Structure 1
Amino acid sequence: MATELTPVSPGVVRVSWSPELQAEGLGPSVEAVRGALVRGFEAGNQRVEALVDPDDEAAQRIATFSGLMREGVARSVESGFDRIVYARLADDTPVDDPIGFRRLLNSFLPRKRAISQMLIRDTQERVLLCQLTYKKDWDLPGGVVEVGESPQLAVGREVEEELGLKLDTGRLVLTDWLPAWGGWDDAVCLVFDGGTHAPELVEQIVRQKREIKSARFCTVEEVHELCADFTARRIVSALINLTDTPGPGYTESGRG
């Protein structure tokens, strides 16, 4: 049989298709898999899923064009082979509806992590740095932008949560792309102006002890001593962009 529906649990079946069907091309394969989805739901199942080899691009296209939404990657211990999990629920919005089509696209299009940081200075031209509990080098205050959250709101939230400071978030001064590093995927770091304050601002800090060991204003020389090199470059680039003759508004690892 070109396609097969295998029961997985009550209300859940798994669709698979033969190599021979896949060899016929995208059109016939998609038509057959779509037919299997209809049969699966007509039989009373609430979920039809498929497990696809990450190296099989043709099978991934078949799953997507059939209306199966990508849910993630199931890592395997026993077989040693990871599988991409695709699925469709009985009450999902039809793909021919604009909302359903956008949801399908959203399930597999790339998503990039965003980080928001705040550049806070004092009247002695020093920068507020945080000593973090989870890494050796120091960094600007800030954190990861939550799903559906504005980066500008995110940095204000992070500064308040980590340091107990309620500061106005100013303009964006730098967009810095961070390549994949040390187990992290790549990300975009957005640095916002946190304004200039009296040195006594540090006395108002209430640390979130789970993440922040300490925080203090540091000179540019101390920035280079305490921060990772790419962080130091980012901070210097952001500082330059506060002047009347700004540097590049976009950098990669702090390099313009």
Structure 2
Amino acid sequence: MIPEPTVRTVSDGVARVSWPAMPEEGDFRAAVASISGAVERALADHGRVEAWLDPEDTVSHRLATWSGMHREGVMRGGVLADGEHRDRIVYARLASDAPLGEPAGFRALLNSFLPRKRAISQLLVRDPDGRVLMCRLTYKKDWDLPGGVVEVGESPQLAAGREVLEELGLEVTPGRLLLTDWLPSWSGWDDALCLVFDGGVVSTSALDAVVREEREIAGVQFCDPADVRAHAADFTARRVEAALAALVDGTTYTESGR
């Protein structure tokens, strides 16, 4: 059975399209034609047409995508159902979106729903004795390598240098990639890739030039492997050890430091 979409104006220039749940074995192509037609008609006098979909309704997610609607994100607790606030996944198409028949339009549609991973860049900086520069952080008890989250559209290698400059006031040019460490989902965080770049060897006196970003950095010091193990989380200690090994053995890949 083909779902018959309904369209209603929800605010000035914004329409919302909805349709009944459709079984997997339904006429998918006919449903896409019906929904995409409703969307295009609504765009004739609306700048935006959106759909709020149940996260569990995977068929409707496919229908929305094939109908040219971009996935925009999660409206947490967006609807009240059976006395509970339930999430909804928001899809939308704008009158200004490039046509799907054009390469730019198709790429933009794919980009809206393909998976994305958080990236973290860090630097492995050593002193002449081989000790590793570690940061004591204000927002967690475990020590970590200097670095931080890569911004959207930013080079991970440049991000490592930017973060160290912002947080420590040190200008360090990131060298080659030593380690790609995959971090699984943990304690409310999505999974991420941590990229560790070679920060080279600096004088121990470089600590005298540190200007801490005090909201994030409580202190910095060079640590030998035993100190790293004592003050860092297990997976961080394993990452540091793997990065040190990569200085000799070449670039490597780990998962949670293993």
Rounded to whole Å, the distance in 1 between the matches of 2:246 and 2:198 is: 10
What is the letter of the counterpart of residue 104 of structure 2?
Answer: I
CA contact (8 A) 2:21 2:57 kept: no
Rounded to whole Å, the distance in 1 between the matches of 2:56 and 2:21 is: 14
Name the TM-score, length of structure 1 as normaliser. Answer: 0.95
SS of the residue 1:216 aligns to: strand
* 1:10-30: CA deviation from partner (whole Å, max 9, x where unpaired): 111101113469863210110
Match of 1:6 among 1, 5, 8: 8
Partner of 2:204: 199
Partner of 1:253: 256
CA contact (8 A) 1:172 1:190 kept: yes
Change (3 A) 1:159 1:139: same
Match of 1:172 among 166, 172, 177: 177
What is the letter of the counterpart of residue 203 of structure 1?
Answer: D
Partner of 1:26: 28
SS of the residue 1:75 aligns to: strand
Name the TM-score, length of structure 2 as normaliser. Answer: 0.94
Match of 1:235 among 240, 244, 255: 240
Alignment of 1:100-111 (within 5 A): 100-111=105-116
Displacement of 1:217 in angstroms is 0.5
Alignment of 1:91-240 (within 5 A): 91-240=96-245
* 1:93-128: CA deviation from partner (whole Å, max 9, x where unpaired): 111110110000000000000000000000111100
CA contact (8 A) 1:21 1:28 kept: no
Runs of at least 5 residues in structure 1 that lack an aligned partner in the other structure = none
SS of the residue 2:77 aligns to: coil
- Aligned-residue sequence identity (percent) comes to 57
What is the letter of the counterpart of residue 132 of structure 2?
Answer: V
Runs of at least 5 residues in structure 2 that lack an aligned partner in the other structure = none
Aligned length, in residue pairs: 252
CA contact (8 A) 2:142 2:231 kept: yes
Task: Confirm whether residue 17 of structure 1 aligns to residue 19 of structure 2.
Answer: yes
Displacement of 1:198 in angstroms is 1.2
SS of the residue 2:32 aligns to: helix
Partner of 1:57: 58
What is the letter of the counterpart of residue 201 of structure 2?
Answer: T
Rounded to whole Å, the distance in 1 between the matches of 2:116 and 2:139 is: 25
Change (3 A) 1:211 1:20: closer
Rounded to whole Å, the distance in 2 between the matches of 1:22 and 1:40 is: 26
Rounded to whole Å, the distance in 2 between the matches of 1:97 and 1:175 is: 36
Change (3 A) 1:50 1:205: same
What is the letter of the counterpart of residue 197 of structure 2?
Answer: F
